[in-house]
Chains A and B, each alone.
Chain A
């Protein structure tokens, strides 16, 4: 099977990042009124997570940090060249690492799982895979 072209990788990254913006925006809006995102499978996990002390980082809602991250990843997917490849890789690695930490908090500290956060963590993992592939395969080559 032939490896996907950089154009394909960038197109998929663009789509995934746009989807991520949607998910993070939904969580941020749902939480902004002191509420919580509606859980797809019920159970109140999202409410517990949204109300926990970990839902803010230095006074900024974690979902808002997520929106900023996805927007930057969207920009790196749209741009060509080594700068974008490097930026996308670094950002997605940070996003992936932070998602791992948040998932750990959900499972072992807050002991509640919010499906919207899980969706975001999966999207971030996919973006990390795509950006790592783009960096390793295409860095140093003509855009």
Chain B
């Protein structure tokens, strides 16, 4: 092999080594960039999750929507957990769980208009029956609504609870939280409410309505039933969604 050919061979080898080195450096740089991109993506998702959770945090004693609840229910008669005139022909029953976020959405998005259109007008009454199925904190909350109902402030309590609801079973249903709801709902005699919510009658009432919901075949909340001259007793409606569906059910039962 001539010296010239040997030099050429060495040069080619060197070039190849350099090219491999460059390729390696490029890949290293891309792996770093890729890791940075992945990190950014993970951070973006974490931020989205935090925002999503924070807008539903609730569950503290700085109550929100106190005035809104007060105005929404103003001048509508309440007896225990029934809202509306006793003379109304139709009774719409909500089997609800105070911890349930879908019940809250119903209370916020559908109920205000339903109250104005059908309850305030005297066409129907709305009765809340506890169906605590989401865990221990639901069981704690339910008799508190019954006890507030004994002082004519049941619906204020329910509506205010829904609007200040926290994330299920995260320990937010404390004595302090419930007392703040009771005060916000203007339960006049808080010591009496406190005593009654822990008493046997309220507990028995919750048990009764829970069994009733199960007997009607309900498995989730909120579930609805209706009773009126046009129905054969209390007829289960199941889960309804829109205002129109509720109005139709009430009109059908009248």
Contact = CB atoms under 8 A, between A and B. Distances in A.
Contacts of A47: 241-242
Contacts of B44: 94
Contact of A109 (B42, B101, B106): B101
A53 B55 contact: yes
B239 interface: yes
A58 interface: yes
Nearest to B39: A90
Interface residues of B, number: 31
A98 B40 CA distance: 13
Nearest to B240: A44
A63 B51 CA distance: 16
A89 B41 CA distance: 9
Identify which of A35, A36, A90, A135 gathers the most chain B CB atoms within 10 Å of its CB.
Answer: A90
Interface in A66-124: 82, 86-87, 89-91, 93-94, 97-98, 101, 105, 109-112
B109 to A, nearest CB: 6
Interface residues of A, number: 32
Nearest to A58: B51
A139 interface: yes
A1 to B, nearest CB: 25
Contacts of B40: 90, 94
A52 B34 CA distance: 36
Given A58-B51, A140-B30, A90 B45 contact: no
A122 B34 CA distance: 23
A94 B242 CA distance: 33
B68 interface: no
Nearest to A135: B34
A34 B109 CA distance: 9
B239 A86 contact: no
B105 interface: yes
A48 B168 contact: no
A57 interface: yes
Given A35-B242, A44-B241, A56-B55, 15 more contacts: A48-B239, A51-B105, A54-B52, A57-B55, A58-B55, A90-B38, A94-B41, A101-B52, A110-B101, A110-B102, A139-B34, A140-B23, A140-B26, A140-B27, A140-B30
5 contacts: A89-B37, A109-B167, A109-B168, A139-B34, A140-B23
